[in-house]
Amino acid sequence: MQNNELPPFINDLDETQKEAVLCTEGPLMVLAGAGSGKTRVLTYRIANLMFNGVDAFNILALTFTNKAAKEMRARIEKIVGPDARNLWMGTFHSVFAKILRFEAEKIGYTSNFTIYDTDDSKSLIKTIIKEFNLDDKLYKPALIYNRISSAKNNLIAAEEYINMADLMASDEANGRKKTADIYTEYAKRCYKSGVMDFDDLLMNMHKLLKNHPDVLNKYQHKFKYVLVDEYQDTNHCQYMIIKRLVAASRNICVVGDDSQSIYSFRGANIQNILSFSRDYPEHNIIKLEQNYRSSKTIVAASGDIISHNKEKLEKKIWTSNPEGEKINIIKAMTDSEEGKMIANSIFEAVSNRKVNYSEIAILYRTNAQSRVFEEAFRKISIPYRIYGGLSFYQRKEIKDLIAYLRLVVNPGDEEALKRIINYPTRGIGNTTIEKLVFIANQYNVSIWNVIEKANHFEVLGAAVSKLNNFYMMLTNFRQMALVKDASETAEYVAKQSGLLKHLHDDKTPEGVSRFENITELLNGIKEFCEDDTNENEKNLSAFLQDVALLTDKDQEEEDNSPKVTMMTIHASKGLEFKYVYVVGLEENLFPSHMALQSRVELEEERRLFYVAVTRAEQVLTLSYASSRFRHGTLLHCDPSRFITEIDPRYINSTLMYRGKQMPSKESIFGTEGLGDKKTSLTKLNIQPAFRKNISLNTNKQTGEPDFVPDDLTGLKAGMRVLHQRFGKGVVQEVSAEGINSKAIVLFNESESKTLVLRFAKMKILD
Catalytic annotation, pick one of 365, 514, 526, 615: 615
Catalytic annotation, pick one of 16, 39, 127, 732: 39
Q: What pLDDT band is residue 546 in, cutting at 50, 70 and 90?
A: low
Phi, psi angle pair for 130, to nearest 5°: -65, -45
The pLDDT of residue 732:
85
Catalytic annotation, pick one of 230, 400, 506, 520: 230
> Which of these, 20, 15, 44, lies nearest to 30 by C-alpha position?
20
Checking DSSP bridges between strand 577-582 and strand 660-661, what pairing results, if any?
unpaired
What lies within 8 Å, CB to CB, of 529 at 6+ separation is 485, 486, 487, 538, 543
29, 281 in Cβ contact below 8 A? no
Lowest mean pLDDT among 146-155, 398-407, 671-680: 671-680
Quote the CA–CA distance of 393 and 566 in Å, as a whole number. 14
Lowest mean pLDDT among 155-159, 417-421, 638-642: 417-421
The pLDDT of residue 587:
93
Determine the average pLDDT of the residues in 63-68.
80
The pLDDT of residue 548:
59
What pLDDT, in 10s, does the model give residues 197-222?
889 999 999 999 999 999 999 999 99
Quote the CA–CA distance of 239 and 270 in Å, as a whole number. 11
Q: What pLDDT band is residue 265 in, cutting at 50, 70 and 90?
A: confident
What lies within 8 Å, CB to CB, of 85 at 6+ separation is 56, 73, 77
The pLDDT of residue 700:
38
Q: What pLDDT band is residue 714 in, cutting at 50, 70 and 90?
A: confident
Q: Could you tell me the end-to-end alpha-carbon distance of the chain, in angstroms, rounded to an integer?
A: 82
- 519 as an active site residue: the answer is no
Q: What pLDDT band is residue 390 in, cutting at 50, 70 and 90?
A: low
- 615 as an active site residue: the answer is yes
- Pick the residue with more confidence: 704 or 28? 28
Quote the CA–CA distance of 496 and 151 in Å, as a whole number. 37
Quote the CA–CA distance of 536 and 47 in Å, as a whole number. 68
Lowest mean pLDDT among 177-186, 220-229, 465-474, 655-664: 655-664
DSSP-derived secondary structure letter, 292: S
DSSP-derived secondary structure letter, 622: E
Pick the most confident of 44-53, 190-199, 588-597: 44-53
The pLDDT of residue 165:
86
Catalytic annotation, pick one of 17, 91, 260, 297: 260
DSSP-derived secondary structure letter, 44: H
Quote the CA–CA distance of 306 and 329 in Å, as a whole number. 19
What pLDDT, in 10s, does the model give residues 83-119?
998 999 988 888 898 898 889 899 998 777 777 777 6
Q: What pLDDT band is residue 659 in, cutting at 50, 70 and 90?
A: very low
286, 315 in Cβ contact below 8 A? no
What pLDDT, in 10s, does the model give residues 185-196?
999 878 877 778
pLDDT at 669 over 80: no
Determine the average pLDDT of the residues in 724-743.
74
Q: What pLDDT band is residue 609 in, cutting at 50, 70 and 90?
A: very high
- Pick the residue with more confidence: 547 or 142? 142
Can you tell me whether residue 691 is helix, strand or coil?
Answer: helix
What pLDDT, in 10s, does the model give residues 320-348?
999 999 999 999 999 999 999 999 999 99
The pLDDT of residue 116:
74
- 38 as an active site residue: the answer is yes
The pLDDT of residue 625:
94
Q: What pLDDT band is residue 407 in, cutting at 50, 70 and 90?
A: confident
% of the chain residues with pLDDT over 70: 87
* Cα dihedral sign, 610-615-619-623: negative
pLDDT at 664 over 50: no
572, 615 in Cβ contact below 8 A? yes
Can you tell me whether residue 690 is helix, strand or coil?
Answer: helix
Q: What pLDDT band is residue 740 in, cutting at 50, 70 and 90?
A: low
341, 377 in Cβ contact below 8 A? no
pLDDT at 693 over 60: no
What pLDDT, in 10s, does the model give residues 437-496?
788 868 877 788 899 999 999 899 989 999 999 999 999 999 999 988 889 999 999 999
607, 262 in Cβ contact below 8 A? yes
Quote the CA–CA distance of 486 and 528 in Å, as a whole number. 8
pLDDT at 305 over 90: yes
The per-residue DSSP string of 713-744 comes to TT--TT-EEEETTTEEEEEEEEE--GGG-EEE
Determine the average pLDDT of the residues in 738-742.
60
Q: What pLDDT band is residue 595 in, cutting at 50, 70 and 90?
A: confident
What pLDDT, in 10s, does the model give residues 614-654?
999 999 999 999 998 876 678 899 999 999 999 999 998 55
Catalytic annotation, pick one of 18, 38, 140, 371: 38
- 39 as an active site residue: the answer is yes
Determine the average pLDDT of the residues in 532-559.
56
Q: What pLDDT band is residue 554 in, cutting at 50, 70 and 90?
A: very low
208, 250 in Cβ contact below 8 A? no
Strand order through the sheet with 751-756: 751-756, 742-747, 727-735, 720-723, 762-764
The pLDDT of residue 716:
83
User: Which burial class, exposed, middle or buried, applies to 340 when counting CB atoms under 10 A from its CB (0-12, 13-18, 19+)?
Assistant: buried
pLDDT at 677 over 50: no
**Residue 637 Cα to chain centre, angstroms:** 22
**Which amino acid is located at 583 in the chain?**
V
- 230 as an active site residue: the answer is yes
Catalytic annotation, pick one of 103, 200, 229, 397: 229
Across the chain, what does the average pLDDT equal?
Answer: 84
Question: What count of other Cβ atoms lies within 10 Å of the Cβ of residue 149?
Answer: 17
3-state per-residue secondary structure call for 321-357: CCCCCCEEEEEEEEHHHHHHHHHHHHHHHHHHCCCCH
- 753 as an active site residue: the answer is no
pLDDT at 543 over 60: yes
